[in-house]
Amino acid sequence: MKEILSNIKIHVNEKIYLKDPETSALGRNIIQHSILLIDEIGFDNFTFKKLGERIGSNESSIYRYFENKHKLLVYLSSWYWSWIEYKLVFSTTNIPDPMDQLKKAIAVVTEKIQDDVATDY
């Protein structure tokens, strides 16, 4: 089951990024460390230069993936809501009763977010 879940790709609107960060190790590193850095220092203090220092890469390499930090934040938000959508579909697919589906959907959307081992971020 873990292998099946690891092959699922969360889709994000292609207009948000210049190069899909999921297609390279550097891109995945950018996403993973941007989440951690934004959590640590806040979005206002977050810069691509600081992120580049964190991941050991040039600031310019981050600009190959995202035009600016706002596009990166939109990407992260879109990825999160696509992940929630995936969890909703996965958890409600085999429930025939609409009321039970609704209850399960509400539980999924309102549950406390914990680190999900099925996802990289």
Q: What is the pLDDT of residue 2?
A: 54
- Reference 85, options 7, 16, 10; nearest CA is 10
* 1: confidence class by pLDDT, cuts 50, 70, 90: very low
Q: What is the pLDDT of residue 114?
A: 75
With a cut of 70, say whether residue 5 has pLDDT above it.
Answer: no
* Cβ atoms of 27 and 79 closer than 8 Å: no
Structural domain boundaries of the chain?
Answer: 2-78
**Encoding tokens for residue 13?**
């609107």
83 vs 115: which has the higher pLDDT: 83
121 vs 11: which has the higher pLDDT: 11
Q: Kindly report, residue by residue over 19-71, the tens digit of the pLDDT.
A: 999 999 999 999 999 999 999 999 999 999 999 999 999 999 999 999 999 99
**Encoding tokens for residue 90?**
């996965």
The backbone torsions φ and ψ at residue 47, rounded to the nearest 5 degrees and listed phi first, read -135, 160
Residue whose tokens read 């696509």: 82
* 7: confidence class by pLDDT, cuts 50, 70, 90: low
Domain 2-78 in CATH: superfamily?
Answer: Homeodomain-like (1.10.10.60)
Q: Kindly report, residue by residue over 70-85, the tens digit of the pLDDT.
A: 999 999 999 999 999 9
Q: What is the pLDDT of residue 36?
A: 95
With a cut of 70, say whether residue 116 has pLDDT above it.
Answer: no
CA distance 66 to 54: 17
